[in-house]
Amino acid sequence: MKIASWNVNSIRARLPRIIDWLQSFEPDIVLLQETKVVDEEFPREPLENLNYKLIFLGQKSYNGVAILSKFSIDEVYFGLPGDTNDVQARYIECLTGGIRVASIYLPNGNPAPGKKYDYKISWMRRLIKRTKILLDKEEPLILGGDYNICPTDQEVYDPEKWVGDALCRPEARSCFRELMHLGLTDAFRAYNPGPGKYSYWDYTGGAWQKDFGLLIDHLLLSPEAADNLTGSGIDRKPRGKEKPSDHTPVWCEINQVH
């Protein structure tokens, strides 16, 4: 079973790229972020025509998350609990194909310090609480998405340049470590250690051509999912195509869970 996560940076603007990739890569479950569309305008039909079932949580022009699956979708959970005033569309969760999955678009947090960074840290605290609850179920779980975190300096093409950025600040990294230490496995890092491996390249300054990237998209697996992990990687091809997202898909393969 192939599971992928991709920040598409506007599902309507990127739809031809998404369709091409779904047809060639053939993932079973896809976690999308930054769809940037209200629910009423989500492009359901082209994706359903590829035999995907869909759930999505959107808002106008910003954020937005979705899950595509070749399997039935049950136990849908919209939004991350813990703050009734938080209306940003950043979290969606379901049970599909024998796995509980969540598509996560963690706040960027810049400029830091400031209110946006405070929101990022409080959102991460809420994610840690939710993850504890999910891990107590002792079932296969994948928390995938754009975490807007470079966990260590090896996920940054130029660490010195990024000191002080919300993606690399010590408080955010500490929250990410706390999340991982609950017992999660980074699917990509399980098979791909070392620096120089990225999932995001800015549109400016020739970042893609120079490979000035960041690794901020992660698939985090519960022990029950990690025990069935058979491979992982980053598919760089979509980033090099015309009118791409600034992110590219990260993926993992696990044995079918029964």
Angle, CA 39 vertex, CA 38 and CA 40 arms, to 5°: 95
Q: Tokens for 127, please give them.
A: 């994610």
Nearest in space to 80 (alpha carbons), one of 179, 167, 200: 179
Measure the CA–CA gap between 165 and 170, rounded to whole angstroms.
Answer: 10
Do 80 and 125 touch, CB atoms closer than 8 A?
no
Measure the CA–CA gap between 170 and 168, rounded to whole angstroms.
Answer: 6
Q: Which residues contact 163 (CB under 8 A, 6 or more apart)?
A: none
Q: Which residues are part of the catalytic machinery? A: 105, 146
Measure the CA–CA gap between 155 and 193, rounded to whole angstroms.
Answer: 10
Tokens 């706040």 found at: 107
